[in-house]
A and B are shown apart, each in its own frame.
Chain A
Amino acid sequence: MLSIKNLHARIGEKEILRGINLEIKAGEVHAIMGPNGSGKSTLASVLAGREDYEVTDGSVDFLGKDLLELAPEERAAEGVFLAFQYPVEIPGVSTTNFMKSAVNEIRKYRGEEPLDAVQFLKMFKEKMAYVNIDQSLLSRSLNEGFSGGEKKRNEIFQMAVLDPKLAILDETDSGLDIDALRIVAEGVNKLKSPTNATIVVTHYQRLLDYIVPDFVHVLYKGRIVKSGTKELALELEEKGYDWIISALVD
């Protein structure tokens, strides 16, 4: 589904990704871990198309398309979804209006008829159940004054509505208490299918108790320095990152 080859990216003069290689197949869950500043969030942002980063080398193939050539909205329409670490507050736009615009723009891109109000109502009701989110929250200005947990649940609600092929969860566990974490993780698990894939970017192993990865990758200084199965995450939790880093010949 996703094939990243030798990806290099920088912000300003600072090179942050320095040759990422990663293959993801449909049905898989990959966890990207690593110490602060290793480039985890940059990788998530570059995949979603954030323009602050300049890709200097490498390629990203997503379902046969050159992902790096596409605008952020085109990537979304092709099926990429980024759950933000810090969801943006947008005063004056409700989640429902935001999602109606998004869904119908994506349908337009795909040459499909727009949904009407009745169809939206039905769909939203169904998707709200995934993350146990309340209608009143969806009618409020997007993320404005939301608690950390509400923001993250709202992200997963949006993910449920857009039904992406590739979901990238950027530090979705940050700022969540254990109950909120469980609700968010359950939502992600319910959305998992043999035809979609998930990238979980996280600093801590904690989230991976709930969203169990097929593969774990350790990112350090802009490269994947170790890959393994879910047991690697447990080992990292126990021993930290130093044992991997010190074994590297830089």
Chain B
Amino acid sequence: MTLTLAVLSGFLLALVVPWLPGLERRACGWAMAVLPAGLAGWFATFVPDVLAGTVVRESRPWVEALGIWFSLRLDGLGLVFALLVTGIGALVMVYSGAYMEGRPKNGRFYAFLLAFMASMLGVVLADDAITLYVFWELTSLTSFILIGYAHERAAARQAALQALVVTTGSGLAMLAGLVMVGLLAGGFGFGQWESQAAAIRSDAWYGPAVVLVLIGALGKSAQFPLHFWLPNAMEAPTPVSAYLHSSTMVKAGVYLVARLAPVLGGTVLWGGLLGIAGTTTWLVAGWWAVRATELKRLLAYATASTLGLLVLLIGLGTEQAIGAAMVVLVAHAAYKGALFMLAGAITHATGRRDIRRLGGLIRTMPATGALALLALAGMAGLPPLVNFVAKEAVFTAVWHQPGVWPVLGAIALLGGALGVAAAVRVAWRALLRSARISGPAAGKVVFQELAGPAVLVLASVAFGLWPGSLDGLLSPAVAAVRGQPAELHLALWHGPSAAVLLDALALAGGVAVVVALGPVVRRMAPVERAARFNPERGYALALGGVNRLAAWQTHALQSGKLPRYLRTILAAVAVLVLGTLAFRGGLAWGSPIQDFGIAELALCVLVLAAAVFVVRSDSRLAPSHARGGVGAGVALVYRLGGAPDLAMTQLVVEALTVILFVLVFYHLPRFGLEVGRAQRLRDLGVSVAAGTALALVVLSASAAPLDRQIAREYLQRSVPEAHGRNVVNTILVDFRALDTLGEITVLMAAAVGVFALVRLRMRETPSGGQNGDGEPAPTRLTGTAGQAASGLAGPVGRGERPATPGASSILHAAARFLIPVLVVVSLVMFYRGHDAPGGGFVAGLIAVVALALDLLAHGPDSSRRLLRADPRTLLGLGVVVAAGSGLASWLAGKSFLSGLWLGGGLGAAIGTPLVFDAGVYLVVVGMAMLIILSLAEE
């Protein structure tokens, strides 16, 4: 529990931090350091126990079926890393307070820095491969966000994306490898893996698993050929570079290799891969560190170089090599963390990051310069700093490596010399040489920026003078990596040995490289030219290729042309349906010409003829009226088929649709354009195929025996339970009222959509239809309103309409008599709907016809007056009434929308379903009138 809490505490704080006040102030760095410092202190209390061999474990089931547990353990290796993560974390937080002072996005910055710390703790404490993987990817994600902190700059975005692609991409390979090992071991716990190490190493899948796992580890630790993201990641703010990209996250790969060494290590494949990758990175990155001139990039190359050394040492696997790796780990974290923070302080103060444009800092910025000089001495491995002890341990390990020591010795000499050269070059160019460059006066470096580096430099000196104090911390770590007890005896001076000689040679070589840098660089020129074709170029080519492929594929599939989409969809439907009917069966005929009727034949011919006319006509109005003919024909088919409700509804809808088309089509052009004949034939073929498919499906479906259980149920329950004899209506307002409630909500949405589209237009035109308080002002629109209906409106509309030449006085006269009749019919239809054809839908539509007739005869103002309420009010009221009728039943203790009945009376049963139907009525009137009035008043 306590380990879990230690890991999660950073995440919890990260959730709170963005909302805290005062994050832009310098002092908040100290506040942010409290948690990491506290955790570091807490972890430090475990040192004696761990030295005694205690391992703290915590485990809880996660995905038990797959053998995945959320497990944590604290052993020697985990403890070293946990102390680094939290200790350096605390120093970086303090530094951030000064470095990030006054910046606006600090909430995000601190939150992700804390989240990173928590993720990194999760990585180094995980005792289960999947647990580790999840935290591993979390570090990649937080790193992505922190590198892209200055996301306004393209370079920062690209660097962040590159780091993300490389680390998570290699992380995926690692996941595959971890799953392979997990399948071999029958679980994902590292303890289980260690106990079955021999079996895992002898399996045929061992080789692929090792390669995949190492891709992940080496990508994370910026090893060749996946090293290129690290120098680019220097786009991040300096605290991030100091924390993630020198001392912690990039060491996750080293950690993983060390953690898995007892399971996967000890083979030629393991040692060979790590040796090649580590050696190459050590030397190549070391050379680029000597060549680099920008402070942070130089440090980044040097970091990659040291990581290569660490990977090589773990690959060697001897007790001396692992011991040396642990000391290098600690020493590097101390001097490199300090150097990054100092580099940030120098750039802050001088505004310069290129060592060719810096100089004499030891005089202009004495405190910063002195600390930097000490840290660089540490980097070069001068006594009495701890890196001297580390380098001696490295040379000792190399010297004692059986068999390959001459080769390794030469490599180590070269690698060591390059490291020294980079340090000496920075010390000379930036700090010691006299400042010949007249730059701006050195700015102020605040104490808080130097606190972290000072602590780290002091630690370097202290551990250098008393290296034995590290024995207790590092011995259990070596034991954990080696899988057997180990004892470290570090000392500043072991007496003269081959290692001391090699160290001295490397120092001299490094100084020589700097002195003779010009000639050396000229010698290396052909090699550097050859390196133009490097992995980073490959990455850029691959990424560009993927982007181009995606663009091509999107363009090919997403043409943005509606006809093409429709054709594709329809052709797919036709092929699937016809293919299924042809090859999978299901095609049935039944008795398709049974009870053939001459009336239906006439109607169907009419409908199809009207449809053909709609397709072929090129005029504007004629096809929309012919379309009305289709609707009317279909309505009569409904009537013959025993569906009077459908017939009535369809007919009224057709009348209204014709009015809508008339209102809109006057403003539309003739359709002139058409595609070529071949394309028309192709479209016709696809359409006919789809039509054939639909006809066959309808035939087959009607031939299939249908269980009428549902229909029988409704028919039997309609009269006793729903008190209605029109079963269609009882289904709509009682049995399936919830569906109907959803449907009238859709109607409301459609009407509001139409209203919004029209209003948008009115707002755009300056002559506008809107008065000061944002309400529509229909009275001001009468001038334009008349245009819509001008072709049909009567000459005199109750005195207020201007006479329109050519308008129909017949319509005007008819409207006067028809409107009251229609209103009465509408009310009767509504009232009788429960027992006879009718109901809220059709009754509402008939009322709309009455209002629309008035609109055509007298203009929109008149029908607004006739309606009395705003259609939007009716819409809302209708939905509220319908839902309210359901709530009434719910409050009465029955389920939502089930009917409550007061008993019969007045020729029909009175109950909540009738109220519900009234709601439907109001919604239909509101919807249709909102649409019609919006169009007419435009």
Indicate whether A and B interact: no
A: residues with CB less than 8 A from B are none
B: residues with CB less than 8 A from A are none
